[in-house]
Amino acid sequence: MRGTTVLPGTPCAAPKAGDPPMHRLELRLPDDVPFAAGSFDAVGPLSRAAFPHRHTFHEIVHVTSGTGTHVVDLARWPLSPPHLGVVLPGQVHRWEDAEGLDGTVVLFTEDFLLDHPGDRDLLRRLGERPWHTLDGPTHARTARLMAELVEEYRHGADGFATVLRSLLHVLLVRTARLPGPGQAGPPPAGPPPGRPAAVAEEFARLTARTGAEGRTVRECAELIGVTPGYLTEAVRAATGRTPGDLLRAARTREAQRLLIGTGLSIRQVASRVGFDDPAYFCRFFRRETGRSPGDFRKHHDRRAPSLEDDGPRP
């Protein structure tokens, strides 16, 4: 849990110049479980933060009322409650023009997923479909489950950590069953169990971490403890894509987050995602997205302030 949890009142570490703030999960006691649940008011004002920021923890939010927009990375989700949303560690999100925002927030670090390690894969897949508008019965079931999580967390009776993990597991499994936009049924299941699937899962976890964008396939293989060839076979079997493809996608995704969520110049964004040469970064970004970094920033978020760029002009 090092670096992911703090005691109440501990200030967040100052981000690098221009980067979004990184919020950590507050614990009630030094030996408390890395979990929290409650209403927006109970969790605190940062639960409604209108400025772009990241978390070191997972967040699941059940929105029961409010207007405005929830922004996660490149996606904008207008509020028309009830909703169920998932925010993964490292994603940049904010509540834009939110009024009357209410509901329940559940926060936890990856270290909390001890009893159900498969929930890590569920969370990554949910991160691909992070926002759901709930029908009446699903909203009612979700509200009851959220209330149980809050009640168990509030009282902290004997064995409460195990109960919280079990309830969280039920919430994740039920959420994974919900169809995404345009889907008639739940999303396909993850890869079958086995050593290749475990390697592919570890690679996915590695590439999802902030700061991993500049790693090579060989470096990732060494960190996981396999050969680059085995890593390539395992990842291709699980995803249909190569590790190189996914590393480029992670690099592009982080660059997009920084371009629309920060005031960093293009040169600074290039450096943050591992490019020494801003001109090469611009060519890479255009190849991956079809747009120059400057054009992407200009057209994606028209509310962003005008910036003085010290990088190459697109």
Quick one: pLDDT band at residue 94, thresholds 50, 70, 90?
very high
For 182-222, give the DSSP string: T-SSPPPP-PPSSHHHHHHHHHHHHHHSTT-TT--HHHHHH
Say which DSSP state 129 is in: S
48, 95 Cβ separation under 8 angstroms:
yes
Residues 6+ apart with CB under 8 A from 53: 20, 21, 22, 23, 46, 92, 93, 94
Quick one: pLDDT band at residue 97, thresholds 50, 70, 90?
very high
Average pLDDT over residues 158-175: 94
CA distance 22 to 163: 29
Angle between helices 293-300 and 243-261 (to 10 degrees): 60
Quick one: pLDDT band at residue 205, thresholds 50, 70, 90?
confident
Helix or strand run (H / E) with residue 41 = helix 40-43
The pLDDT score that the predictor gives to residue 78 is 95
Say which DSSP state 309 is in: -
Name the amino acid, one letter, at 311: G
- Give residue-wise pLDDT tens across range 222-269: 988 889 999 999 888 888 899 999 899 889 989 998 998 888 899 999
Q: Does pLDDT of 189 surpass 80?
A: no
Torsion-angle region of 75 (φ positive above 0: left; ψ -120 to 50: alpha; else: beta): beta
Lowest mean pLDDT among 7-16, 143-152, 171-180: 7-16
Closest CA to 140 of 82, 195, 57: 82
Closest CA to 59 of 38, 76, 79: 38
86-110 CB burial, b ≥16 within 10 A, e <16: bbbbbbbbbbbebeebebbbbbbbb
33, 79 Cβ separation under 8 angstroms:
no
Helix or strand run (H / E) with residue 5 = strand 5-6
Quick one: pLDDT band at residue 308, thresholds 50, 70, 90?
very low
Residue 246, token pair as written in the block: 């996914």
248, 288 Cβ separation under 8 angstroms:
yes
